[in-house]
Amino acid sequence: MQPEETKGMITMMYDVLVIGSNMMELTTEIDRMPQLGETVAAPNFHMAFGGKGANQAVAAAKLGAKVAMISKVGADSLGQAYLAHFKQTGIDISGVSVGTQSNGVAPCFIHGNMNSIIVVQGANSELTPASLDDYHALIKNAKLIVLQQEIDLATNYRAIDLAEQYGVPVLLNPAPANDDLNLAHVTKCEFYAPNETELGRLTKRPVETLAEITTAAKELVAQGVKNVIVTIGARGALWVTKDQELLIPSYQVPAVDSIGAGDSFIGAFAYYYTHGEDIPTALHHANTYAAVTVTRKGSQTSYPTAAELPALQAQLGIQS
């Protein structure tokens, strides 16, 4: 079911179309985990907008991209809150529909520097391959399609096939890792953007050292993947093609909260790439954007707008 305000909207050209998840993050700070059957008091709780797909869409939109989202929100107050949030952020919601289940949620329990997370897909599980057939106009009018793996792989495969049909490049961020990922569909993507763990899961290779990561990425390129972009935390991002290997170093900053940083990198890269930057420059700017986000708490709440970014970078000594 589509929200009334999305019906009959005229399709425009979009910089970025994100097909993926939205989640409400339910975070509780605890002194210790309760035992089975035990109730414990917690000093703090907060709720925030999250989900990998939505995070990436919001990051790109905050930088100024024209962003559309294809997603399923819940048939509850959380789903309505997310629809309002997308609209407030400037994201086109003509591809966002209301499912029959509750909104996806991610209860997170934080104890010191450790956390435990439970993911409940909720309405996200209703974003099926067939549901994409309502959104051909969105797909063919995008400069770049961004996918993650918090929705069913079959839906991603359908999105990749439709993008290929319309000649639209795809960036696949294979998070969370899924051992059933089909390499044949990865090779249809313009960009495959894992972290080192996700790279190791697909290639079945060790990925501890930079040399091992490079070898694994080159193996994928040899099998037909065009651009492999590996995010490797504080070491930066590695870009590998059939012609070159390039490490774009990250900035060392006083990190406060790394949750959602990888999503901010993907969203920022999508923005810079669709605004005419070459790949190395777009990766550099995505690195600087992600560096700012880890110095602030939260996922989407840590993502600065284009107007806020220069001052925040200057405070951290980051050269844009």
Consult the annotation and say whether 298 binds a ligand: yes
Consult the annotation and say whether 51 binds a ligand: yes
Consult the annotation and say whether 231 binds a ligand: yes
Consult the annotation and say whether 150 binds a ligand: yes
- Total residue length of the chain: 320
By CB atoms closer than 10 A (0-12, 13-18, 19+), residue 152 is middle
Consult the annotation and say whether 262 binds a ligand: yes
Consult the annotation and say whether 233 binds a ligand: yes
Consult the annotation and say whether 54 binds a ligand: yes
Consult the annotation and say whether 302 binds a ligand: yes
Q: Which residue has the tokens 């996700």?
A: 198
Consult the annotation and say whether 52 binds a ligand: yes
Q: Would residue 180 show up in a list of annotated catalytic residues for this protein?
A: no
Consult the annotation and say whether 267 binds a ligand: no
Consult the annotation and say whether 53 binds a ligand: yes
Q: Which residue has the tokens 């049909």?
A: 165
165: Cβ contacts below 8 Å, ≥ 6 apart: none
**CB-CB neighbours of 218 under 10 Å:** 17
Helix extents (H) in the chain: 52-63, 77-89, 136-140, 153-166, 183-186, 196-203, 210-222, 261-274, 279-293, 309-316
Consult the annotation and say whether 293 binds a ligand: yes
SS3 assignment, position 231: strand
Q: Which amino acid is at 75?
A: A
Q: Token pair for residue 8?
A: 């009959």
Consult the annotation and say whether 8 binds a ligand: no
Consult the annotation and say whether 232 binds a ligand: yes
Give CA 39 to chain center in angstroms: 34
Q: Token pair for residue 113?
A: 């520097």
Cα separation, 1 vs 98, whole angstroms: 5
Consult the annotation and say whether 195 binds a ligand: yes
Give CA 246 to chain center in angstroms: 22
The catalytic residue among 76, 133, 161, 263 is 263
Task: Evaluate whether 198 touches 177 at the Cβ level (below 8 Å).
Answer: yes
Cα separation, 247 vs 277, whole angstroms: 17
The catalytic residues are 263
Annotated binding site for ATP: 195, 231-236, 262-263, 287
Annotated binding residues, as ranges?
51-55, 150, 195, 231-236, 257, 259, 262-263, 287, 293, 296, 298, 302
Annotated binding residues for substrate, written as ranges, equal 51-55, 150, 263
Annotated binding site for K(+), which residues?
A: 257, 259, 293, 296, 298, 302
